[in-house]
Structure 1
Amino acid sequence: MAAVRVVPRDRVDVLGEGLFWSVRDGALLWTDILGRRINRFRPATGQVESWEVGDVVGWIIGRAKGGFVAGIGRSIAQVSFDPFICETLADIPGEPATNRVNDAAADPQGQLWLGTMPYACDAPTGSFYRFSKGGISRAAPEPFTIPNGPAIDPTGRFLLHTDSAMGVIFRHELHDGVLGPREPFVTFENGWGSPDGMAFDAEGHLWVACWGAGCVTRFSPEGRPVRRIELPASQISNCTFGGADLDRLYVTSAADGVDEEHGGALFEVDPGCRGLPPFPYED
Structure 2
Amino acid sequence: MSTAHLDVAVPERAELGEGPTWDPATGRVVWVDIVAARVHTYDPATGRRTVMATEQHVGAAKPRAGGGLVVNLRDGIGLYDPDGAFRWLVHDPVPGRRGNDAAVAPDGSLWAGTMRYDGAEGGGGLARVAADGAVTPVPTPVSCGNGVGWSPDGRLMYFVDTPTRRIDVFDLDGGHTVNRRPFATIEEGAGFPDGLTVDAEGAVWVALWDGA
Question: What TM-score does the superposition give when structure 1 sets the normalisation length?
Answer: 0.70
Structure-to-structure mapping, 1:42-191, within 5 angstroms:
42-81=43-82, 83-92=83-92, 96-191=94-189
State the identity %: 33
What is the RMSD computed on CA atoms of the aligned residues? 1.6
Q: Is there any run of 5+ residues in structure 1 with no aligned partner, and where?
A: 216-283
Q: Is there any run of 5+ residues in structure 2 with no aligned partner, and where?
A: none
Distance 2:39 2:141 in 1: 28
Measured after TM superposition, the shift of residue 98 of structure 1 is 0.5
The alignment covers a number of residue pairs equal to: 210
**Which structure carries more relative contact order (alpha carbon 8 Å, separation 6+)?**
1
Distance 2:79 2:130 in 1: 14
Distance 1:8 1:182 in 2: 36
Summarize deviations over 1:220-250 as a string: whole Å, max 9, x none. xxxxxxxxxxxxxxxxxxxxxxxxxxxxxxx
Structure-to-structure mapping, 1:161-240, within 5 angstroms:
161-213=159-211, 215=212
SS at match of 1:4: coil
SS at match of 2:153: coil
Q: Are the equivalent residues in 2 in contact too, given 1:127–1:138 (CA < 8 A)?
A: no
Distance 1:138 1:187 in 2: 27
Summarize deviations over 1:1-42 as a string: whole Å, max 9, x none. 433222345x41111112221110001111111111000010
Distance 1:138 1:103 in 2: 17
Q: Are the equivalent residues in 2 in contact too, given 1:31–1:57 (CA < 8 A)?
A: yes
Summarize deviations over 1:100-146 as a string: whole Å, max 9, x none. 01011111111111111101223321111110132333432223211
Distance 1:64 1:22 in 2: 10
Q: Are the equivalent residues in 1 in contact too, given 2:28–2:44 (CA < 8 A)?
A: yes
